[in-house]
């Protein structure tokens, strides 16, 4: 049994061994919800309610590929759907700021309508932080959900290195019932081909 586990590990994960177009629907969904770069996060101190919130490191290469593949399949299923799942403004910003920023995408309930409440937005800006070691980093900006992009995208400084053990995002998610969520990611698990993907 140990031999089989070693063979599976040596074979690599599907995101390393297959092109995005060859990922099954289950694999694509797993990469976006349960992978080194994505997880479904419960509210603190709750069992099953309220519903978990999807948190992904959207600036990581595997997640970028998964989102692009999801968009391609979505357009095939629904001709006339928006040309790109991601907002053009966000795309342009990410290309300019990739070297200095990490972007976390959060699945928001009610299409992010709670972001129209100035108090909720202010609380999100004040209380959403990234923790690396003993240091806390405030968010540097955000992109609200749009008709074509269902995620709230929050930017943080690129202050994570391969030498760090973990990175934790303490998030205030407007409209999520219990808005506080904590997502912890292992840095070692996000290293792909010798490079930290984040």
pTM summary value:
0.87
For residue 98, what are its two tokens?
A: 């990739």
| Whole-number pLDDT of residue 10 | 41
Specify if 14 maps to a domain.
Answer: no
- Please indicate, yes or no, if residue 101 is contained in any of the structural domains: yes
CA distance 192 to 103: 18
First-to-last C-alpha distance (Å) of the chain: 33
| Residue 75: alpha-carbon gap to chain centroid | 21
Question: What single DSSP character describes residue 50?
Answer: S
**Is 18 a domain residue?**
no
Residue at token pair 């290195």: 161
pLDDT of res. 196 = 97
| pLDDT for the residue numbered 7 | 39
Q: Residue 86: what pLDDT?
A: 58
Cis status of the peptide bond prior to 18, with omega within 30 of 0 = no
> Is 4 contained in some domain?
no
In-domain check, residue 147? yes
Could you tell me if residue 9 is inside a domain? no
Asked whether 189 and 152 are in contact (CB, 8 A), the reply is no
Number of domains within the chain? 1
Which pLDDT score is estimated for 80? 64
CA dist 103 and 142 (Å) reads 9
Instruction: Note whether residue 3 is domain-resident.
Output: no
Question: pLDDT at position 32, please?
Answer: 96
Residue range of the domain that includes 136: 23-30+37-192
**Residue length, the chain?**
198
Residue 41 within a domain: yes
Which positions ≥6 away from 91 have C-beta within 8 Å? 84
DSSP bridge pairs for 171: 181
Helix axes of 61-77 and 25-33: crossing angle, nearest 10 degrees:
130
pLDDT at 117: 87
pLDDT recorded at residue 72: 86
The whole-number mean pLDDT for each consecutive block of 10 residues of the chain, a chain of 198 residues, reads 42 87 95 97 73 94 94 79 64 92 89 79 96 97 86 96 97 88 97 95
């Amino acid at each position: 049994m140990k031999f089989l586990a070693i063979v599976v590990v040596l074979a690599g994960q599907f995101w390393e061994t297959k092109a995005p177009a060859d990922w099954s629907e289950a694999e694509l969904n797993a990469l976006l919800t349960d992978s080194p770069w994505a997880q479904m996060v419960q509210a603190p101190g709750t069992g099953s309610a309220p519903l978990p919130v999807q948190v992904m490191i959207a600036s990581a290469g595997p997640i970028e590929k998964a989102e692009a593949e999801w968009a391609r399949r979505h357009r095939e299923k629904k001709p006339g759907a928006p040309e790109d799942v991601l907002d053009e403004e966000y795309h342009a910003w990410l290309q300019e700021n990739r070297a200095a920023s990490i972007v976390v995408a959060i699945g928001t309930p009610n299409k992010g309508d709670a972001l129209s409440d100035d108090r909720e937005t202010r609380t999100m800006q004040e209380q959403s932080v990234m923790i690396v070691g003993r240091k806390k980093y405030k968010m540097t900006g955000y992109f609200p959900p749009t008709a074509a992009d269902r995620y709230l995208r929050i930017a943080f400084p690129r202050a994570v290195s391969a030498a760090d053990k973990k990175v934790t995002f303490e998030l205030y998610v407007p409209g999520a019932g219990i808005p506080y969520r904590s997502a912890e990611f292992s840095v070692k698990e996000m290293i792909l081909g010798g490079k930290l993907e984040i």
